Structure 1
Amino acid sequence: MSYLKFEKALMTNLQESLPRELLRTNRSGAYSCSTIVDCNTRKYHGLLVVPVPELDDDNHVLLSSLDVTVVQHGAEFNMGLHKYQGNNYSPKGHKYIKEFDCNKVPTTIYRVGGVILKKEVVFQHYEDRILIRYTLVDAHSITTLRIRPFLAFRSVRQFTHENSVASRDYQPVDNGIKTCMYPGYPELFMQFSTENKFMFKPDWYRGVEYPKEQERGYASDEDLYVPGYFELDIKKGESIVFAASISESSTDSLNELFDTEVGKRTPRDNFFHCLVNAAHQFHIHENNDDRYILAGYPWFKCRARDMFIALPGLTLSIEEQYYFELVMKTAQKGLDEFMEGKPLSVKIYEMEQPDVPLWVIWCLQQYAKEAGMQKCLEMYGPFMKRIMTFIEKGNHPNLKVMDNALVYTNGTDKAVTWMNSTVNGKPVVPRTGYIVEFNALWYNALKFCASIAQLDKKNKEAEHLEKTAEKCRKSFLDMFMNEYGYLFDYVGGNDKDWSVRPNMIFAVALDYSPLDQDQKKSVLDVCTRELLTPKGLRSLSPKSGGYNPMYIGPQTQRDYAYHQGTAWPWLGGFYMEACLKLYKRTRLSFIERQMVGYEDEMLNHCIGTIPELFDGNPPFNGRGAISFAMNVAEILRTLELLEKYNFK
């Protein structure tokens, strides 16, 4: 029995199948994404979506979709599916689906009368190339496949419409054609592993509609260009591979290439393997050997904070220390450039955010747990010293160490924490001054760097760091601990934010905490009572003013709800780490039950991964980006912590 498998009853019920999405990626940041019935419901969906750096910093949809028609005895059975205006679906090819399985590669079985056709799809690891293998499992007579490509050639943030500028030119290539709709775009090669006929019948399919964009309050319809169709005969038992790419394929080796790519895939046969597969999808490898962690799909770039939070879970927790070191090599170069006031040569965004260097230290602390303190000192000791000196000397433009040894940040006019939603250019949650997680991270950084410094006989900083940490600890308690047993979210001047938010959990979860045991338990209890959901911690307690747990509606409405009650799995990871540190093995079964809430998501939303956030109220629907690095990472890190406690 496959782990990710859907039977005919679900696949043919669009109310059930359309909300389930499927993502395939490669190492360049290109991807292929649609629903499990191959009906695009977002402008971000497409069969071949690639970065085009010559044009801009966005991904671009080249090949939107591919309709396959089975022809027997002159009768045509089109297996495509598109939504058009007026809630019309055509040509309703989903009714031919017998089953869908996503164990190693996405596989769809179609049945039309006596014809059984199997479709398997892979995205090549290191090339912008989608490969689709069609196998005629059974047929009682001569069978022809007619394959019609739908082209877009536009940014994922825009739409294409019928126009006279789009080029209709194409050139024959080996077993296929190449074409390019607009100047500046790469040529799209569409080729097969066997001979075929291309019939040039250019047309625009008008009024294709994307319901997910309607839900988000955006424009939602476009026209797609179809240059014609390919036609080829297929025999019972025969397999034919289609390739769409921005470079020409060697058609003689397409079958072999497909098998090779399948062999590289992690089978998604259980919860853990699904998460490992998802973790690998965030890996980005640039031509100059820079390595990155993408924040999420389909619209996020590599963001500094996200990368350092996600990196340990996505690498160390699945025994991929080598990849941690490769990413950190790129990140170290970028952070050093930032600290030296140089232009960044790496593609890491938001490096200037004030908590980024604090998360770097936390990230390296996790490395020390896996590789050992001595190895961490050898690899990153000087780097950490540069970071701490940079902060202490006040060289960061928006992170200052005050006389009380706490760090201070100005977030009045610009969002500077992970709660970064804005409306009309202003932060929805203007967290400013002494911010609770910044200072928990700062105390943790002081203590960890002191322990590293003690290993280095040449480093005389340990005593200074310890003294600063002790002063920071006392100031932290004076500043943040309130009479109700939880922590202020931020304190700016005389303004104390009494909102019950999850950011205080870091003061309990981090290895070095300024709180004593009773204070930790008090904070954890408040988080449990008011913030915990089956999908992580809420960003705001239902008892606090402004609670808005449903992330729905137009952009502004969603921006107001983004951090006002929605639930975040990555915060749940730190919550569960805090539970284990305080209560040890007595909380194992409780945390295992929490994991069940995440495993349920493997068959929902984007299958095999975790979305960006969830509504804060039942039924806790997944929202936002379809696959989010920090969430996948923290669930993997929690699973690793569970395993360690189970073997103690």
Structure 2
Amino acid sequence: MTRIDSPHRSTEASEAEWLEVDGRGGFASGTAGGERTRRYHALLLAATHPPAGRVVLVNGIEAWIESARGGRYPLTRHRYMPDHLHPPITAGLMSFNTEPWPTWRFCIGDGWQVTAEVFVAHGAAQTVLRWRLESVCASDVQHETQAGHEALTLKVRPLLSGRDYHALHHENPAFDFTARIVTDCVCWQPYPDQPVVAAQSNGTYTHEPDWYRSFCYTQERERGLDYNEDLATPGLFSFDLAQGDAVLILSAQTAANAEAAAPEEAAPEDVVSAAALALRLDALERVRRASFAGRLQRSADEYVVARGAGRTIIAGYPWFTDWGRDTFIAMRGLLLASGRCAEAESILLGWTETISEGMLPNRFPDDGGAPVYNAVDASLWFVVAVHDYLQTAHASSATRERLQQVVNAIVQGYADGTRFNIAADDDGLLRAGVPGVQLTWMDAKVGDWVVTPRIGKPVEVQALWINALRIALAWDTHWGELETLASTSFAERFVNPATGALYDVIDVDHEPGRVDASVRPNQIFATGGLPHAVIDVVRARAVVSQVEAQLLTPLGLRSLAPCDPAYVGRYEGTVLQRDGAYHQGTVWPWLLGPFVQAWLRVQRAAGVPDSASMAAARARFLTPLYAHLDAAGLDHVSEIADGAAPHTPRGAPFQAWSLGELLRIEKLLGT
């Protein structure tokens, strides 16, 4: 649980972000302070083709309380162009916390306390908003209210768009404000190609169409993107808080959400009031969330979503979908380290259907198009995930046979040669790369500029390749000769004699003998993070020493050493500037997992007792990550951070492999 007291008094705290997912690729998100700072902040963001086809339907609300005495107390705030926050401060905001879901507490008027909650129902594109009058501090106000002399009315205006979640919305005559009202449900369909928005409430709806113009999104401005948006409000909901909880349930009715029948299609006896439905969803959600062992396990579940009839892993929120590389890396912590073997099996088997020429897809396009096969390492990470899963002894003989069959197909495809010049070379190592294509995890590209091409034989790809050969060798001995050749070549060719650590790439641009000696974190995989270390402990000590001295930060490993002329210490500015810094010094939290594993190996080889090294690792590596859970993406770990102190979190605030590796570190350390 994250609790923030008086978030409006701290800019940093108020900008921390919360996340509620629907298990289908859709979600709701915002900030602790209530201001929407991203185009992705919304109350109803649905996946029309789970987990893709995401659209923003209800961006937010304008909410306030009116008293019979004429007082008006805002519960929401927005920033407008050019940079005007209204109201300047949500003065009554006392606290915010994420347990059991985003909850704000306000003190208004002469001491009234109002609680506002948001939660998303799992398995449906449905967001529940609820407000309640909790208590009153001043006895005279209480007396007047009991006597009927004081009334508090909650007013809520939904702010709608109906757009792709990457886009922005602007005032236009095509927006359809028409409201279709059936009992306690109001339906709108802003555009004919977008889902219907259904708003069920226990309040009174008044149709008052209007535009709220020129919202300003500061996070988009900082990212060098368009940041001005107009939203439509079709009407106003009014609630008498003296009558009990005020409830507003927002639902998306899409082809993929056919189970949410239109209100007029329901038989009268099947109609459930908004208040009763909210209580039912509340009870179901509390039971579901209580089923997880702890805070991190519950957060981990938010990345596991539906894809067709199966499951997949979202790489991160708010702008990623499911990526092959990220899925297999994240799975090791999110699912396998957490004992969720059945879900891991389902996902692995699902991905076996996508194999092509020995490769698995790197990603699935948002528009549902053909999978994209442009990663040299995604298939190799699949092999590692299969190994970890099979180690659990959960697999049936049929599942084991199928997964081993696909691993063999991957290794054979890579050995023989496949797309993008990927093939086992004469030295047994894996070459890869063609100009203009980014194949490794360092995959930033702007236009035709591949920032870190790494064509040739990247070090972590060799570590993965040798691991894949060793894993396949466990059931198919004919890989023994190639594994021996690759392992021998790695030991002979990758050691940098000047440092004792490893080169980042050899045979650069397929030129024999040409090396890239940049100090990057990729070498850590040769000794940590994978099932098999591919270097001896002497070399491991040199690698860990170099990485620790030049790349380690409290939030992860830098992607390039600060002494390098190409180093960029801050991830900020335009798209070109940010992508140019993405793997040129930016910190990646997920890399802390393999580093800790390598560090423990070196400690053990040096004779340090396991109990001492484990205790030191918990204090040194876990403490900063635990503190980070209360900072950027609440209860989650960010995608990246600045290489330069104070290592400001950047990128996606909720990242699957970052959280997954934290869970894997916990398991390594027995936490």
Q: TM-score, normalised by structure 2?
A: 0.88
Taking a change above 3 Å as real, the CA distance of residues 242 and 374 of structure 1, as seen in their structure-2 partners, is closer
* 1:6 maps to 2:12: no
* 1:69 maps to 2:84: no
Task: Note the alpha carbon deviations across 1:512-543, whole angstroms, 9 max, x for none.
Answer: 23311211111111111111111111101112
Taking a change above 3 Å as real, the CA distance of residues 472 and 338 of structure 1, as seen in their structure-2 partners, is closer
2:228 aligns with: 221
Taking a change above 3 Å as real, the CA distance of residues 548 and 450 of structure 1, as seen in their structure-2 partners, is same
Taking a change above 3 Å as real, the CA distance of residues 338 and 24 of structure 1, as seen in their structure-2 partners, is farther
Which of 490, 515, 525 does residue 506 from structure 1 map onto?
525
Contact between 1:206 and 1:224, CA under 8 Å: does it hold in 2?
A: yes
Taking a change above 3 Å as real, the CA distance of residues 534 and 413 of structure 1, as seen in their structure-2 partners, is same
Contact between 2:79 and 2:86, CA under 8 Å: does it hold in 1?
A: yes
Return the letter of the residue paired with 1:482: N
2:266 aligns with: none
* 1:520 maps to 2:540: yes
Contact between 2:304 and 2:312, CA under 8 Å: does it hold in 1?
A: yes
2:502 aligns with: 487
Task: Note the alpha carbon deviations across 1:525-580, whole angstroms, 9 max, x for none.
Answer: 11111111111111011122211121011111111111011111111100111122
CA drift at 1:267:
5.9
Deviation larger for 580-589 or 40-49: 580-589
Which of 478, 489, 513 does residue 475 from structure 1 map onto?
489
CA drift at 1:336:
5.6
Q: Which runs of 5+ in 2 are unaligned?
A: 137-141, 146-150, 254-261, 264-270, 605-609
2:207 aligns with: 200
Contact between 1:130 and 1:243, CA under 8 Å: does it hold in 2?
A: yes
Q: Which runs of 5+ in 1 are unaligned?
A: 454-460
Taking a change above 3 Å as real, the CA distance of residues 155 and 289 of structure 1, as seen in their structure-2 partners, is same
Distance 2:16 2:385 in 1: 33
2:55 aligns with: 60
Taking a change above 3 Å as real, the CA distance of residues 357 and 623 of structure 1, as seen in their structure-2 partners, is same
Task: Note the alpha carbon deviations across 1:252-295, whole angstroms, 9 max, x for none.
Answer: 231332322431453699xx833212211111113x31211111
CA drift at 1:379:
5.6
1:456 aligns with: none
Distance 1:557 1:344 in 2: 26
Which of 579, 582, 585 does residue 565 from structure 1 map onto?
585
Which of 299, 318, 322 does residue 278 from structure 1 map onto?
299
Distance 1:86 1:465 in 2: 63
Return the letter of the residue paired with 1:232: F
* 1:435 maps to 2:458: yes
The alignment partner of 1:52 has SS state of: strand
1:129 aligns with: 126
The alignment partner of 2:441 has SS state of: coil
Contact between 1:305 and 1:350, CA under 8 Å: does it hold in 2?
A: no
Distance 1:340 1:67 in 2: 45
Contact between 1:103 and 1:268, CA under 8 Å: does it hold in 2?
A: no
Distance 2:593 2:290 in 1: 25
Contact between 1:43 and 1:210, CA under 8 Å: does it hold in 2?
A: yes
Contact between 1:43 and 1:220, CA under 8 Å: does it hold in 2?
A: yes
Which of 247, 270, 276 does residue 241 from structure 1 map onto?
247
Contact between 2:13 and 2:631, CA under 8 Å: does it hold in 1?
A: no
Return the letter of the residue paired with 1:233: D
Contact between 1:176 and 1:191, CA under 8 Å: does it hold in 2?
A: yes
Distance 2:40 2:195 in 1: 19
The alignment partner of 1:551 has SS state of: coil
Taking a change above 3 Å as real, the CA distance of residues 349 and 33 of structure 1, as seen in their structure-2 partners, is farther
Which of 300, 305, 312 does residue 325 from structure 2 map onto?
305
Q: TM-score, normalised by structure 1?
A: 0.91
Contact between 1:71 and 1:146, CA under 8 Å: does it hold in 2?
A: yes
Distance 2:125 2:527 in 1: 44
Matches within 5 A, 1:368-387: 368-371=390-393, 377-378=400-401, 380-387=403-410
* 1:598 maps to 2:625: yes
Deviation larger for 388-397 or 213-222: 388-397
Distance 1:110 1:350 in 2: 48
Taking a change above 3 Å as real, the CA distance of residues 110 and 258 of structure 1, as seen in their structure-2 partners, is farther
CA drift at 1:100:
1.4
Matches within 5 A, 1:293-372: 293-335=313-355, 349-371=371-393
Distance 1:439 1:580 in 2: 22
Contact between 2:348 and 2:386, CA under 8 Å: does it hold in 1?
A: no
2:257 aligns with: none
Distance 1:218 1:517 in 2: 47
CA drift at 1:71:
1.8
Contact between 1:12 and 1:94, CA under 8 Å: does it hold in 2?
A: yes
Distance 1:582 1:365 in 2: 24
Contact between 1:80 and 1:92, CA under 8 Å: does it hold in 2?
A: no
Which of 44, 48, 51 does residue 48 from structure 1 map onto?
44
Taking a change above 3 Å as real, the CA distance of residues 268 and 215 of structure 1, as seen in their structure-2 partners, is farther
Distance 1:244 1:348 in 2: 32
Distance 2:537 2:617 in 1: 20
CA drift at 1:369:
2.9
Distance 1:13 1:133 in 2: 24
* 1:582 maps to 2:602: yes
Contact between 2:177 and 2:209, CA under 8 Å: does it hold in 1?
A: yes
Distance 2:34 2:395 in 1: 49
Taking a change above 3 Å as real, the CA distance of residues 75 and 190 of structure 1, as seen in their structure-2 partners, is same
1:150 aligns with: 159
Taking a change above 3 Å as real, the CA distance of residues 119 and 258 of structure 1, as seen in their structure-2 partners, is farther
CA drift at 1:69:
1.8
The alignment partner of 2:453 has SS state of: coil
Taking a change above 3 Å as real, the CA distance of residues 227 and 91 of structure 1, as seen in their structure-2 partners, is farther
1:446 aligns with: 469
Aligned sequence identity (%): 28
The alignment partner of 2:167 has SS state of: coil
Distance 1:344 1:232 in 2: 44
Matches within 5 A, 1:531-546: 531-546=551-566
1:458 aligns with: none
Distance 1:516 1:442 in 2: 17
Return the letter of the residue paired with 1:85: M
Taking a change above 3 Å as real, the CA distance of residues 337 and 186 of structure 1, as seen in their structure-2 partners, is farther
* 1:497 maps to 2:497: no
Contact between 2:8 and 2:90, CA under 8 Å: does it hold in 1?
A: yes
Contact between 2:504 and 2:519, CA under 8 Å: does it hold in 1?
A: yes
Which of 74, 87, 92 does residue 96 from structure 1 map onto?
92
Distance 2:289 2:617 in 1: 26
CA drift at 1:581:
2.6
Contact between 1:537 and 1:568, CA under 8 Å: does it hold in 2?
A: yes
Deviation larger for 476-485 or 577-586: 577-586
Distance 1:97 1:268 in 2: 31
Contact between 1:203 and 1:227, CA under 8 Å: does it hold in 2?
A: yes
Matches within 5 A, 1:546-565: 546-565=566-585
